[in-house]
Structure 1
Amino acid sequence: MTDRSLEAEFAPDIDAQWAGDFILEARLLDVPGDRIGDSLNDVNTHCRDAREAADIAFGDPTEYARVIAAQSTPSTTRWLPLLGPTTLQIIGVVLGLHGVGGWVTGNAHPLTWSTGAMLIALIGGVSLLSVALSRSLRAIVRRPFIGALLVGVAGALLFAGPYLLLLIETPPLPLPTGLVIALGITILVIGIGLAVATARTGNVDDPISAPGIAPRSRREKYLVAGAPLAWLVVGATLIILFAPR
């Protein structure tokens, strides 16, 4: 099936703006994906058969989403399982490239304490971000300007803290180059495995679905999950070719 918008996929016979507003509000109210798909399918069928517009037959899309939410069991998005695999992949790439750099330059201990602190700070920042998104995503989306400002500040703090730690000169960690490379590859493979498992099961991201509508291809998710491996290979190749000996 070709890639189409959710509105066209689940409700091709009604106004796309109405369907989009309904999907957004239902998502913010933690309506399960299959319930959203079923509801859109029902709205589309009624409007097509009765030749009525969705706003005439079902009213305001946000109000209708709230009605559906009141009749559904919430399906809260778990942000840490979504962000965690990517974080592990980043850590794996960082460790792997440091290890390769140490191997090429002859540095027996390529990691410093500041690098280790940076990676720990990254893990802590992602964990805090997961909690913040779980508690405030609705407010951020409903107030776009304030939401964009808060997300920008949070993103800056998330990456500025670990970056500043890298600027601090500290002694090397007592980890040999071979172990650093092995740790990097292991953590990267674990992150890719978790990302692929998430894409395969769909239990974490709760995709919108409905009977009779084929699920979307997970090929893009698999490609995204495996992209960090390409980063490691390309980065390691550049280090081997151009790093000073």
Structure 2
Amino acid sequence: MSIEPADLAPHVETTWADDFVVELRLRDVPGDVIGDLLTEVESHVVDSGTPAHEAFGDPTQYAAQIAETAARPDPDAPGELVPIAIGAAAMVVAVGGVVEWWQDGTFERTGGTVALVLGVLLAPFVIARFFAPLVRFVLTAPWWKSWLLAMAALVPMVGLAVLARPWHIGTLPAPPVAVGALVLLAVAIVLELRHPSPVDPLLAPGADRATADEAARRDARRTTLLVWATQVGWVAAAAATGILINRLAG
């Protein structure tokens, strides 16, 4: 069972505590250190009767000051993103392969397909590289600005795929392409489930680290499985939509 900031600091304003924890997480401060810091803030608020925003100021600025000495020195390894990138690219190929299999049995390799697959392969690494500023922007900006940011990322990739579509590279039988992509997707899912990203739960002072880590791993596996299941559902829905459109057009 995960611990929430409100569990460790019930007398601290919820928005202050949440913003404080999010900023510390984005700056890669360990969960046990965050738990200690929240407990210290809670003790000060209770003892002094002063709200956290008056005693410690802006939560993001306070977190930034702490992170200068408390953050981990090494960033996460980009190799952890490989299964995600491969799985996402496999989904793109699988959708096209299934649709073409149903249509005429041939898979047309075009410049558009290559551009789309490369874009999907690179996307997880780009998002990871700019993860912290992206999250800050999404959490603080109006929804329409977040939407514009998403469109600014998607439109060039989709536009390039459309423009490169007339570039014909070759033709392959659709069945092995579709099956191979689905198998690759399954392998990516298994790799992600067997080797999930390292967990770092929020810990109360004196809490048992091993128990908390195991609970966090179970939550992480369930979340990973749910995400992949949702994406597989999108593959099925996209393939079914493409088949329906082709049938109606035919």
TM-score between both structures, scaled by the size of structure 1 = 0.71
* Cα distance in 1, alignment partners of residues 7 and 125 from structure 2: 34
User: 1:208 and 2:202 equivalent?
Assistant: yes
Counterpart of 1:163 in structure 2 is: 158
* Cα distance in 1, alignment partners of residues 152 and 62 from structure 2: 38
User: 1:181 and 2:178 equivalent?
Assistant: yes
Q: Are the aligned partners of 2:111 and 2:161 in contact in 1 as well (CA < 8 Å)? A: no
User: 1:227 and 2:238 equivalent?
Assistant: no
* Deviation at residue 64 of structure 1 after TM alignment: 4.3
Q: Deviations over 1:167-218 (max 9, x none)?
A: 23122534321331133213322432354356x5534xx4433453855534
User: 1:100 and 2:95 equivalent?
Assistant: no
> Kindly, what percent of the aligned residue pairs are identical?
24
Letter of the 1:222 counterpart? L
Letter of the 1:158 counterpart? A
* Cα distance in 1, alignment partners of residues 157 and 54 from structure 2: 53
Counterpart of 1:193 in structure 2 is: 190
Q: Which runs of 5 or more residues in structure 2 are unaligned?
A: none
- 1:1-245 superposed matches below 5 A: 1=1, 6-45=4-43, 47-48=45-46, 50=47, 52-53=49-50, 55=52, 59-60=56-57, 61-62=59-60, 64-74=62-72, 78=76, 85-133=83-131, 136=133, 140=137, 144=141, 149=145, 155-167=150-162, 168-197=165-194, 200-203=196-199, 206-210=200-204, 211-212=206-207, 214=212, 215=215, 217-218=219-220, 219-237=222-240, 243-244=246-247
Tell me the secondary structure at the aligned position of residue 109 of structure 2. coil
* Cα distance in 2, alignment partners of residues 162 and 56 from structure 1: 43
Q: Tell me the number of residue pairs that the alignment of Structure 1 and Structure 2 aligns.
A: 236
Tell me the secondary structure at the aligned position of residue 175 of structure 1. strand
Q: Which runs of 5 or more residues in structure 1 are unaligned?
A: none
Q: Are the aligned partners of 1:195 and 1:225 in contact in 2 as well (CA < 8 Å)? A: no
Change in Cα spacing, 1:242 to 1:96, as seen in structure 2 (3 Å) is same
Change in Cα spacing, 1:34 to 1:76, as seen in structure 2 (3 Å) is farther
* Cα distance in 2, alignment partners of residues 225 and 138 from structure 1: 21
* Deviation at residue 75 of structure 1 after TM alignment: 5.8
Q: Are the aligned partners of 2:94 and 2:177 in contact in 1 as well (CA < 8 Å)? A: yes
* Cα distance in 2, alignment partners of residues 142 and 93 from structure 1: 29
Change in Cα spacing, 1:62 to 1:105, as seen in structure 2 (3 Å) is closer
* Deviation at residue 22 of structure 1 after TM alignment: 2.0
Q: Deviations over 1:113-166 (max 9, x none)?
A: 3212221133345434433446x5598579847xx85x6565334322231233
Change in Cα spacing, 1:196 to 1:11, as seen in structure 2 (3 Å) is farther
Q: Deviations over 1:16-44 (max 9, x none)?
A: 23312322332343322331123213433
Q: Are the aligned partners of 2:107 and 2:173 in contact in 1 as well (CA < 8 Å)? A: yes
